[in-house]
A and B are shown apart, each in its own frame.
Chain A
Amino acid sequence: MPIQEETIEQVNLATSKYKYGFSTDLEVDKAPKGLDENIIKLISSKKNEPEWMLDWRLKAFEIWKKMKEPEWAKVNYSKIDYQDIYYYSAPKNTEKLKSLDEVDPELLKTYEKLGIPLNEQKALAGVAVDAVFDSVSVVTTFRKQLEEKGVIFCPISEAIKTHPELIKKYIGSVIPRHDNYFSALNSAVFTDGSFVYIPKGVKCPMELSTYFRINEKNTGQFERTLIIADDDSYVSYLEGCTAPQRDENQLHAAVVELITHDNAEIKYSTVQNWFPGDENGKGGIFNFVTKRGSCLGKNSKISWTQVETGSAVTWKYPSCILHGDNSVGEFYSVAITNNFQQADTGTKMIHLGKNTKSTIISKGISAGKSQNTYRGKVLMQPGAKNARNFTQCDSLLIGDKCGAHTIPYITSKNPSANIEHEATTSKISEDQLFYCLSRGLSEEEAVSLIVNGFCKEVMKELPMEFSVEAQKLIGISLEGSVG
Chain B
Amino acid sequence: MSLLKIEDLYASIGDEKILNGLSLEINAGETHAIMGPNGSGKSTLSYVLSGREDYDVTKGSVLLDKKELLDIEADERSKLGLFLAFQYPIELPGVTGMTFLRTIINSSRIAKNLPELEGIELVKLIRKKAAELEISQDMLKRFVNVGFSGGEKKRFEILQMALLDPKIAVLDETDSGLDVDALRIVGKGVTNLKSKDRGMLVITHYQRLLDHIIPDFVHIMVKGKIIQSGGPDLAKLVEKEGYKSFLNGN
Residues of A whose CB lies within 8 Å of any CB of B are 426, 429, 431-432, 434-443, 445, 449-450, 452-456
Contact = CB atoms under 8 A, between A and B. Distances in A.
Interface of B: 50-53, 73-75, 77-79, 83-84, 86, 89-96, 99-100, 103-104, 107-108, 111, 143, 160, 164
A453 B111 contact: no
A438 B89 CA distance: 11
Contacts of B90: 429, 431-432, 434-435
Contacts of B108: 440
Nearest to B54: A430
Nearest to A454: B94
Given A445-B107, A453-B143, A438 B95 contact: no
B100 A449 contact: yes
B51 to A, nearest CB: 7
A455 B93 CA distance: 11
Given A435-B86, A440-B164, A453 B94 contact: yes
25 contacts: A434-B74, A435-B89, A435-B92, A437-B74, A438-B75, A438-B78, A438-B83, A438-B84, A439-B104, A439-B107, A439-B164, A440-B79, A440-B111, A440-B164, A441-B75, A441-B103, A443-B75, A445-B107, A449-B92, A449-B99, A449-B100, A450-B92, A453-B95, A454-B93, A454-B94
Contacts, number: 71
A22 to B, nearest CB: 28
Given A434-B52, A450-B92, 6 more contacts: A426-B93, A435-B92, A437-B73, A438-B77, A440-B108, A441-B75
Q: Which secondary structure dominates chain A's binding surface?
A: helix
A376 to B, nearest CB: 21
Contacts of A449: 92, 95, 99-100, 103
Contacts of B111: 440
Nearest to A434: B52
Q: Tell which of A429, A440, A450, A454 has the most Cβ of chain B within 10 Å.
A: A440
Contacts of B95: 449-450, 452-453
Q: Tell which of A436, A438, A443 has the most Cβ of chain B within 10 Å.
A: A438
Contact of A439 (B78, B91, B93, B94): B78
A445 B143 CA distance: 17
B99 to A, nearest CB: 7
A47 B84 CA distance: 66
A187 B143 CA distance: 47
A431 B164 CA distance: 20
Contacts of B103: 441, 445, 449
Q: Tell which of A432, A439, A449, A455 has the most Cβ of chain B within 10 Å.
A: A439
A441 B164 CA distance: 12
A363 to B, nearest CB: 10
A440 B75 contact: yes
A440 B52 CA distance: 13
B60 to A, nearest CB: 20
B75 A442 contact: yes
Nearest to B95: A453
B89 to A, nearest CB: 7
A431 to B, nearest CB: 5
A431 B77 CA distance: 17
A434 B47 CA distance: 10
Contacts of B143: 453
Given A440-B108, A440-B111, A441-B104, A453 B79 contact: no
Contacts of B78: 437-440
Nearest to B101: A439
Contacts of B77: 438
A453 B50 contact: no
A431 B91 CA distance: 9
Nearest to B94: A453
A454 B95 CA distance: 8
B160 A439 contact: yes
Contacts of A452: 94-95
Contacts of A426: 93
A221 B50 CA distance: 51
Contact of A432 (B73, B75, B92): B92
Contacts of A439: 78, 104, 107, 160, 164
